[in-house]
Chains A and B, each alone.
Chain A
Amino acid sequence: MGDLSGYKGGALRLLRDAGASIGDVIEIRTDFGTVTGTLVPRYLYGDGEHVVLKLKSGYNVGLGLSGLAKAKVLSKGEKPSFSPPASPRAAKGLPRVLILGTGGTIASRVDYRTGAVSPAVTAAELDSLVPELSEIAKVQPELLFEVFSENMTPQHWTRLAKRAAKAVGEKFDGVVITHGTDTLGYSAAALSFALAGIPIPVILVGSQRSSDRPSSDAPLNLVAAVTVAAEGSFSGVYVAMHLGESDDKVAFHGGTRVRKNHTSRRDAFSSIGVPLAAVFGRSGLEHVAEGLPARGGSFKPRPKFDGRVALLKFYPSMPGGLVRAARRSGVKAIVIEGTGLGHVSREVSSELGRFVKAGGLAFMTSQCINGRVDLSVYDTGRDLLHVGVQPLEDMLSETALVKAMWVLGTGASGSKARELMASNVAGEITARTFPG
C-alpha cells in the first residue's frame, strides 16, 4: 500500500480502494463535477471527511467526502530527486567549522508537490542553500539529534557539550550549534558552564522565521555565526540572533546573560544587564566588547548535569504546598523567582526554610528580569536569609536553574554547592549594575 499519511476514516478507505498514494495525480468526482489534482498529505489533526488535492494551478483544496462518488488514479507520482545547484568550491586554507544540528531547521527546502519541508543535512545541501558559507569556512554539518527545543533535557546538553569539547581536539576553529529558539537561552547557559574556558568560540544560532520562507532570518544568523566561529578573536559560548527587525545586523549575546523576550520578533533575544558581546554587520564583525576571553588556553569540560532542580515563580497567594510538592518530587534545589528585590510571602518563606533544614538548597532570583536581588533591605528579605535562602545577585532565573543543575552535576553539595553558586563561573554574575 502506498503512503497516505494523515488520512483516516472514510477518506482513507476511498483512497486505499482507489490504490492512491501521496503524490499521485488523481481524479475525484463530486456532486458538482470532476476535480483533478495531486494527492497531498493531510495534516495530523485533520478529520476523515476530506481529501486534499493540489490543483494544477498550485492551490490546495479540500473536497468533502459526502459529495464524493469516486476516486481514480490517473498517474503515479514520482519522488523528485534532489540535485543541488553546484556550490562554489571552497578555497583552500579556510578555517574549519563544525555545525551541530539539534532539530531546529536552519536551512531547508520545500517539496512544492506535496508541501513537505525537509531540512538540509549534508554540507552540499547547506552550501547550496547558503552559498556564502563556502567563502567563509569549510563547514562540516553533523546532526547530533532531532528534538523540538521544548523537549531538550540536561542529557541533551551533556551530549552537546561533549561533542563541542571533542571538536577542540579535532582542530576545529569553532563550533556552531543550530537550535530551536524556545529554549536556546537555557542551552546556551548550560554550555557556558559545561564548557567554561573552552579555547574556541561556540555559537548557538536559531531563527524566528522558518527557513523555508524567503524572508527567513536563518541565513544571515548562520552566516554571522559561522563567521565568528571561523575567525572571531574571542572564545566562549554565545547566542547569535538578529539585532533588530532588519536583515543588516546580528547580535552576539553572552551565553549566561541572554533571554528570549519576545514570542515572535527576529530580535527576540536580549542581553540582560550586560553589553552585547559583539555585533556582525554588512562589513563583518563591526563591534567586539572589551574583556572577552581570547582564543586558546587549556580547559577541561565539565559536561554533567543533575536535573533535580525546580524553578518556581512566586505570586500573590502562592500556596506553600507547592514548595512541599517540589520537595516530595525529589528536587534537591529550588530556584525561587521572587518579587522585586527578591521577596516571597511569609508562608512560602517558612516552607523554604523547612526545605533548607531538610538538606535542600534554596536560591533567590527576581522576576523583574533586570536588576539585582537584595535580601538585606526589608524584613521579609532578612527572614529569607535567616532561613537559609541564598540570594543570587543579578543572575537570570533561567541561568540560575541551569547553573544549579550543573553545580549538582559536578557532585558538589551543601556549602560547597552554595559557594559554587555564588562564584562567577561564566559571566553569569556581574559585580556592578549599569544603566540601560
Chain B
Amino acid sequence: MRDKEGLLVGLEIHQQLAIPTKLFCACPPVKTDEFPYHFERRLRPSQSETGRLDPAAVFEYAKGRSNRYYWSPESACLVEADEEPPHPMSGAGLEAALLVGTVLGSQLVDEVHVMRKIVIDGSNTGGFQRTAVVGLGGSFEVNGGRVGVQSVTLEEDAARILGEDSESRHFALDRLGVALVEVSLDPVRGAPEHVGEVALHLGRLLRSTGRVARGLGTIRQDLNVSLAGGKVVEVKGVQKLNLLPRVVEYERKRQSMLIGVAEKLREKGIRKVSCRHRDVTSLLGASSSGVVRRAVSEGGVVHCIAADGLAGLLGWEPEPGVRLGKELAEVARANSLGGVIHSDEFERQGLTGAEAAALAGAMGADHECALILVAGRSEAVSRVVPLVEARAAEAPSGVPPETRAATDSGETRYMRPRPGSQRMYPETDIQDIEVGDEVRRRLEREAPLPWTESVERLQRAFTLSRDLALKVYDSETTGEFEALAARLGLEPSFIASVLVDLPARLEREGVPESAVGLGPLTASLEAVAAGKVAKEALPEVLKASAEKGVTVDQAIRSLGLGVVTEEYVSRVVREVVGRQTKLVAERGEDAFSPLMGEAMKELRGKADGSMVARLLRRELGLARSGEGSTGQNGG
C-alpha cells in the first residue's frame, strides 16, 4: 500500500510573470536563437563564516569545467553578464507577485529583502540567484481539502542550458533574469494523481490573476519527495503538468527500492559498505565487452571498485526500472562518463566468466562483494571513482538527500548532492522595498474572482458544459470567446469548441498547434457567421490555411468551398427527392434521414447542414419546423 510508505510531496511552482522587462534590468523577456557574443567564466565556491564549503558547490567546482555564456543584445545586457549591478526591481514584477500572495491569502511582508541564493552550477552568471520572499503562509482548496502555502517568492530565472561537454557547460543568457513567482506548498500526502490535481488547480489560480505568462516553458514544477524512513529528494524542472504524477510515482518506486536495499543490508548485518578500487585496464584490455574495449582503444582506462556486501543488490529490481546499479551509473553520467558496469550485469554487458573471475581474483572479492567497472578517459575516471564509491557507501542509509532532474519520460536522474541550507545572504546592490498599506488595499481590490467561479459563470452565461467551460478558461481565450459570442450570433458552444478543441484535433492530424492561432480561428468563425462557408468545412479550411500559409478566405476559395446559394441547395434537394419518390411514398416522414444523408453527400462543406434540413423539410411538406432543428418533429 502506498499510504503505508508515507509518500509526502512538497510542490514548488515557478511561474513566469507577464511583465515587459526582466526583473532587474530593462531587457525584454524574449527567447533568442542567435547569439553573436560569448564569454567564459569559472565560479568558485564561496566560503561561509565557519569555513565550511557547500557540498553542492564543491561538487560543481570539482568537475573543473568552465561555463560559456552566449548572448545577444536582443535579450541580454551587462546585467545578465554580471558586468553591471542590477537595476532596481521591476515594480510591475513586484506587484504581480504581491497579487499572487494576496490571492493565496498569504501574509505579505512589510519590507521585501532581495537575497543572493548561491547557485554554482553555472546557470547564474553571478553564482547566485536573486530571490525575495513577498508572502508567508496562505492556503487554497482542492476538491474540498485545504492545501497550505509556505511562501510566495519573487525570483529571477536561470540561464538556459544549451549543452555541455567535458570542458564546459554552455548557457544562453536570454532566460536569465526573467521574473518568476515561486509558490511553495506544504507537503501533500496521498496518491501521485492528487499532486497533479493540486498543481493544476494552483496553475489556474495563478493564471486567474492575469499577470502570468502563458505557454510551454513559462511554468515549471519542482518537487520535494520523501517516503517514511527516507530523506527528502529534490526533483527539478517538471515542465509538463501531465508528467507530475509519473515523476512522483517514479520517485516513490526509486526511493522504496533504496529503502529496501538498506533493509536487506541490515538483515545481513551489514552497517557499512566499504569500497576499494584499482586500475584493471591491463586485465580487460582485450575484453569481450564492447563498452570496455572502446574505452581502452580510445586511450582510456578501466578502474574496478569492489563494494563489500552489495553483491546481488545492484541489479535488484523490486519494481520495473529502479535499481541501485542505475543510481551509480547516473553519478558517472553526471560527470560526463557513459555509466558503469556492475557484477550483476557482467554477462549481459558481454564480460566472460573468465574475465569476471579474473577481476574477482584481482580485487580479492568474495561472493558478498559487488564489482563496479568505471571506464573512460583517465582524468574523468579518477574523478568519478571516488564519487561512485561514496554513493555505494551510502547504500545502508537508504535514500541520500540529492537534487535530481525530471526527464521527459517522467523519470528522474541524478544531478548533484542537495545544497546545504542557508546559502543565502543579502543582495546589497538592491535596496529593501517597503510594501505600504496603500498597496495592500489596492491589491485586495484588484484580486480576481476565484477561477472556479469564473468557470461556473462561463457555464451559466453561455450554457457550456463544465468540460468546455474549463477548456475555454484554461486556453486563456475567455475574453476573445465572450467577444466572439456577443458579436457573431453563432452558438456559443460551437465557438468554444472551435477555439479550444479544433487546434488540438488538427494537431493530431499533423497541423502544428502554433499554426492555428487566434487569428485564423477568428477569421474562420467570421466566415461561418457571414455564410461564406459551412461549419463542417472549418477543419479542412484551417488545415489548408496553415499548410499553404494563406488566409482563411483564400483557403475557402482555393478549396472551392464558397457557400452555394439557397437556390442551388433547393435544386439539389429537389433532385434528391425526385430520385427517391418511391422511398418518400413508402416511408413518408421517416424518409427524412436517408434523404438528408444523400443531400449532404453532395453539399457537405458547401452548405450549412441546418439550411439543407430546412429546405428538405419544405420539399417533403414538413416545413413547419424551425431553422436549425434537424429533429424529426414534423407533426
The verdict on A64 contacting chain B, using a C-beta distance below 8 Å, is yes
Interface footprint category on B:
35 or more
- Chain B, 500-517, CB within 8 A of any chain A CB: none
Q: Do B136 and A112 touch across chains, with their CB atoms under 8 A apart? A: no
Determine which of B46, B107, B118 lies in contact with A33 in the assembled complex, contact meaning CB atoms within 8 Å.
B107
- Which chain B residues have a beta carbon within 8 Å of chain A's beta carbons? 39-51, 53, 57, 66, 78, 81-85, 107, 109-113, 115-118, 120, 125-128, 131-133, 136-137, 151, 153, 421-426, 432, 434
Q: Do A111 and B83 touch across chains, with their CB atoms under 8 A apart? A: no
The verdict on A116 contacting chain B, using a C-beta distance below 8 Å, is yes
- Which listed segment binds B: A135-143, A182-190, A212-220? A212-220
Q: Do B426 and A214 touch across chains, with their CB atoms under 8 A apart? A: no
The verdict on A276 contacting chain B, using a C-beta distance below 8 Å, is no
Complex Cα gap A54–B133 (Å): 11
Q: Which residues of A contact B110 (CB under 8 A)?
A: 50, 62-64, 67
Q: Do B49 and A111 touch across chains, with their CB atoms under 8 A apart? A: yes
Determine which of B82, B109, B120, B423 lies in contact with A112 in the assembled complex, contact meaning CB atoms within 8 Å.
B423
- Chain A, 193-239, CB within 8 A of any chain B CB: 208-209, 212-216, 219-220
Q: Do B49 and A245 touch across chains, with their CB atoms under 8 A apart? A: no
Q: Which residue of B lies closest to A52 (CB)?
A: B113
The verdict on A61 contacting chain B, using a C-beta distance below 8 Å, is yes
Complex Cα gap A63–B136 (Å): 11
Q: For chain A, what secondary structure do more than half of its interface residues adopt (helix, strand, loop), or is it mixed?
A: loop
Q: Least Cβ distance of A119 to chain B in Å?
A: 12
Question: Could you pull out 19 A-B pairs where Cβ atoms are within 8 angstroms?
Answer: A30-B107, A33-B107, A59-B115, A59-B151, A60-B113, A61-B133, A62-B110, A80-B48, A110-B425, A113-B49, A115-B425, A115-B426, A215-B41, A215-B127, A220-B42, A247-B41, A247-B66, A264-B83, A266-B83
Q: Do B126 and A215 touch across chains, with their CB atoms under 8 A apart? A: yes
Q: Which residues of B contact A118 (CB under 8 A)?
A: 49
The 8 A CB mask of A294-324 against B (1 = contact, 0 = none) is 0000000000000000000000000000000
Q: Which residue of B lies closest to A30 (CB)?
A: B107
Determine which of A40, A59, A212, A214 lies in contact with B133 in the assembled complex, contact meaning CB atoms within 8 Å.
A59
Given A52-B111, A61-B113, A112-B425, are A82 and B51 neighbors across the interface (CB < 8 Å)?
yes
Q: Which residues of B contact A215 (CB under 8 A)?
A: 41, 43, 82, 125-127
Q: Do B49 and A80 touch across chains, with their CB atoms under 8 A apart? A: yes
The verdict on A434 contacting chain B, using a C-beta distance below 8 Å, is no
The verdict on A84 contacting chain B, using a C-beta distance below 8 Å, is yes
Q: Least Cβ distance of B64 to chain A in Å?
A: 13
Query: Which of B112, B132, B422 is the most central at the interface, judged by chain A CB atoms within 10 Å of its CB?
Result: B422
Determine which of A62, A112, A116, A214 lies in contact with B422 in the assembled complex, contact meaning CB atoms within 8 Å.
A112
Complex Cα gap A80–B46 (Å): 16
List the 10 closest A-B pairs by CB distance, nearest first.
A62-B111, A214-B127, A64-B110, A111-B49, A58-B424, A32-B107, A60-B113, A109-B47, A245-B39, A214-B43
Determine which of A58, A61, A80, A214 lies in contact with B421 in the assembled complex, contact meaning CB atoms within 8 Å.
A58
Q: Do B49 and A110 touch across chains, with their CB atoms under 8 A apart? A: yes
Q: Which residues of B contact A212 (CB under 8 A)?
A: 46, 425
Q: Which residues of B contact A134 (CB under 8 A)?
A: none
The verdict on A128 contacting chain B, using a C-beta distance below 8 Å, is yes
Q: Do A83 and B51 touch across chains, with their CB atoms under 8 A apart? A: yes
Q: Which residue of A lies closest to B106 (CB)?
A: A32
Determine which of B48, B83, B111, B133 lies in contact with A109 in the assembled complex, contact meaning CB atoms within 8 Å.
B48
The 8 A CB mask of A54-75 against B (1 = contact, 0 = none) is 1111111111100100000000
